[in-house]
Amino acid sequence: MVFMVSTCLLFAQNNNKQDHSGHNHASHSKTEGDHSGHNHAKGDHSGHNHAKEDHSGHNHAKGDHSGHNHAKGDHSGHNHAKGGHSHDAHTNACGFVFDKSEFNPGAVAFHHISDQNIYSIGPWHFPLPCITYVKGKGLDFFSSGKFNADYHGNGTNAYNGFVLYEGTLRKIENPNFPTGLVDIGHHNVKALGKKNAKGKEIAVVHLCHDGKQLACENKSTLDFGLFGGGLTSFYDFSITKNVFSMLLICFLLGWLFFAIAKKYRNNPNKAPSGAQGFMETMFLFIQDEVCKPFLGHKWEKYTPFIMSLFFFILGLNLFGQVPFFGGSNVTGNLAVTAVLAIIAFFVVNFSGNGDYWKHIFWMPGIPAWVKTIVTPVEFLGIFIKPITLMLRLFGNITAGHMVIVIFVGLIFIFGKNGANVGAAWGTTIASTLLTLFMMAIELLVAFIQAFVFAILTASYIGAATEEHHAH
Amino acid sequence: MYAAIGAGLAVIGAGIGIGNVGAKAMEAIARQPEAVGDIRANMILMAALVEGAALIAILLAFFVGQ
């Protein structure tokens, strides 16, 4: 299990593709004088058309500039003024618009299930250690408390060239940015749409500092560009929220099992009591329903592995269900489920006997021409099995979490972000009931998915170690 | 958008498949209530395997849609 955690540390999932434009930012009054330095940077912006000619005044409070089309070189036509500005909109010195009246449920859901460098319980943020490796500069170790994140997880400080955007670290690309603590203030980091090399629209976080736009890089991810990530100039090995939750669950499970084992050692002839009774029921259920029937004659050898998988996944599934407690979504993170599936893949294939490989590459008992069809399918099956293990757990847990976030988001959609208080109250009641119902289902799913992962791994191992005597 | 339609079609297929697995398992349990334990374990295993096919389709739809 410790191995699982340490391997998960090496993976970092990218959840940063989407533009989080639709978050509720508190309207932030700024003095008019701030806008005089309206420097859109590098002189190559073409479509900077303001409805009003007067740039020095730049009065955003009245919603009078409709087409704020500032294009910074490669920003081709990213219109920041979606549907005109309401009185809730706030624009900073670089022209980043923070529109309070806009609500994007998809982006909010993605933000709430993603991994973060801070641990948030309600309105409080608890700092977590950040361990970064920058190419050419080496390791850096600091606390995410340095960023002094606002209620939304956006840092109000930059530290050593890093900024915190929605709880995750970003590195300022400009190497001349001063190291150490730099005050960047509120409402100066925002993800802006940008076309990447493949012509795909991606979100790039920008920092507005001293009237200049500075692009920020995402952390490196090992997805080889499949999910919009890839290797960048820095690696994030931080103890993030997910890693912290994993360590916490490992510690809790270890403590629970060692305490129970001690009870069995000290009182071998007594009936189980307390947590011992609960855990014994679950342990025996997995042993009798999963290990003995599916693992075959070598079940005792693989039982510890199946039990580790089951209780690790179950613990994390249940921990992710606790409301208001950081909402860590560990088993709904593709990197974590990928590592679990890779471990299952290695265990299955390293314990496979001669018969297993013979059945894949030269299936006995069928005509030769059928073998030419069966062999590629069986060979692909070796890899498809762990891929489906990975996706099943990820999909089920992520879908459950997202549905809950979207049910809560219904309040903001129907209440028009506070404009319609009556509808907001009505939807609150409805969405509370829906969320409670969904959480009851999720509790069931937490057990079923842990069980399914264990039973499938057990059946794959059982198939790989099965002895065939006659055909 | 085509990717989303593809994912939806895959989910329809998986839904029919898992529905069949569940229906037959219920029938089997009604016929032989004493075998409920074995049937339940195999039902979940079969449902998971059917779901696996849909997951591959959804993964493909996701990559195409990227």
Express each pLDDT in A153-192 by its tens digit.
788 888 888 888 888 888 888 777 877 788 877 777 777 7
Q: Given a cut of 90, is residue A460 above it in pLDDT?
A: yes
- Average pLDDT (A238-265) is 91
pLDDT band at residue A85 under the 50/70/90 scheme: very low
- Average pLDDT (A431-445) is 91
CB contact under 8 A, A452 and B48: yes
pLDDT in tens, A361-417: 888 888 888 888 899 999 999 999 999 999 899 988 988 888 888 888 888 888 877
Structure tokens of A266?
């000290």
Distance between CA atoms of residues B52 and A381, nearest Å: 11
Please check whether residue A445 touches B, CB under 8 A: no
Distance between CA atoms of residues A348 and A192, nearest Å: 45
- Average pLDDT (A199-209) is 73
The answer to whether A148 and A19 have CB atoms below 8 angstroms apart is no
Please check whether residue A380 touches B, CB under 8 A: no
pLDDT band at residue B12 under the 50/70/90 scheme: very high
Residue A1: what pLDDT? 41
pLDDT band at residue A62 under the 50/70/90 scheme: very low
For B:45-64, CB contacts with A below 8 A are: 45, 48, 51-52, 55-56, 58-59, 63
Residue A106: what pLDDT? 74
- Average pLDDT over chain A reads 76
CB contact under 8 A, B56 and A293: no
Contacts of A444 (CB under 8 A, 6+ apart): none
pLDDT in tens, B30-49: 999 999 888 988 898 888 88
Contacts of A392 in chain B (CB under 8 A): 48, 51-52, 55
Closest CA to A25 of A92, A74, A79, A83: A92
CB contact under 8 A, A455 and B41: yes
Structure tokens of A421?
């208080």
CB contact under 8 A, B66 and A391: no
CATH number attached to the domain at B2-65: 1.20.20.10
Q: Given a cut of 80, is residue A290 above it in pLDDT?
A: yes
Nearest CB neighbour to B44, from listed A228, A388, A455: A455
Contacts of A226 in chain B (CB under 8 A): 63, 66
Contacts of B59 in chain A (CB under 8 A): 387, 391
Q: How far is B42 from chain A (nearest CA, A)?
A: 9
Distance between CA atoms of residues A270 and A280, nearest Å: 13
Residue A197: what pLDDT? 60
Lowest mean pLDDT across A94-98, A145-149, A385-389: A94-98
The DSSP letter of residue A158 is E
- What distances in angstroms separate CA B48 from CA A398, A449, B9, B15, one per listed residue? 17, 9, 18, 12
Residue A225: what pLDDT? 63
- State how beta strands A124-127 and A118-121 pair: antiparallel
- Average pLDDT (A264-271) is 85
Which of B51, B58, B60, B62 is best to mutate for the A interface (most A CBs within 10 A)? B51
Lowest mean pLDDT across A41-55, A252-266, A269-283, A369-383: A41-55
Q: Given a cut of 50, is residue A26 above it in pLDDT?
A: no
A88 alpha-carbon distance from chain centroid: 30
Residue A35: what pLDDT? 41
Please check whether residue A200 touches B, CB under 8 A: yes
Distance between CA atoms of residues A15 and A214, nearest Å: 21
| Report for A17-21, A100-104, A126-130, A170-174: range of highest mean pLDDT | A126-130
More confident residue, A25 or A387: A387
Residue A157: what pLDDT? 83
**What's the helix, strand, coil split of chain B in %, to 5?**
95, 0, 5
Long-range contacts of A3-8 (CB under 8 A, 24+ apart): A3/A343, A4/A308, A4/A312, A4/A339, A4/A340, A4/A343, A5/A243, A5/A246, A5/A247, A5/A250, A7/A339, A7/A342, A7/A343, A8/A242, A8/A243, A8/A246, A8/A335, A8/A336, A8/A339
Distance between CA atoms of residues A12 and A28, nearest Å: 34
- Average pLDDT (A73-101) is 54
Contacts of B32 (CB under 8 A, 6+ apart): B39
pLDDT band at residue A79 under the 50/70/90 scheme: very low
Residue A461: what pLDDT? 93
- What chain A residue is nearest to B59 in terms of C-alpha separation? A391
Amino acid at A135: K
Lowest mean pLDDT across A22-26, A119-123, A156-160, A355-359: A22-26
- What chain B residue is nearest to A456 in terms of C-alpha separation? B45
Scored b (16 or more CB within 10 A) or e, B13-30 reads ebeebbeebeeebeebee
Please check whether residue A451 touches B, CB under 8 A: yes
More confident residue, A10 or A113: A113
Residue A71: what pLDDT? 38
Which of A201, A388, A445 is best to mutate for the B interface (most B CBs within 10 A)? A388
- What distances in angstroms separate CA A355 from CA A68, A300, A319, A459, A470, one per listed residue? 68, 21, 41, 16, 11
Q: Given a cut of 70, is residue B63 above it in pLDDT?
A: yes
Please check whether residue B37 touches A, CB under 8 A: yes
Give the E-state strand segments of A410-465 in sequence order.
none
Q: Given a cut of 50, is residue A297 above it in pLDDT?
A: yes
Distance between CA atoms of residues A128 and A239, nearest Å: 6
Nearest CB neighbour to A388, from listed B38, B41, B52: B52
Distance between CA atoms of residues A295 and A226, nearest Å: 35
The answer to whether A25 and A98 have CB atoms below 8 angstroms apart is yes
Structure tokens of A234?
């820095």
CB contact under 8 A, B52 and A227: no
Contacts of B51 in chain A (CB under 8 A): 388, 392
The DSSP letter of residue A270 is S
Percent of chain A with pLDDT over 90: 23
- What chain A residue is nearest to B58 in terms of C-alpha separation? A391
Q: Tally A–B CB contacts below 8 A.
A: 41
pLDDT band at residue A310 under the 50/70/90 scheme: very high
Q: Given a cut of 90, is residue A253 above it in pLDDT?
A: yes
pTM for the whole thing?
0.77
Please check whether residue B36 touches A, CB under 8 A: no
pLDDT band at residue A228 under the 50/70/90 scheme: low
Residue B21: what pLDDT? 95
Domain map (residue ranges) of chain A: 25-93, 103-114+116-239, 243-465
pLDDT band at residue A194 under the 50/70/90 scheme: low
Structure tokens of A299?
């079940």
SS3 A233: coil
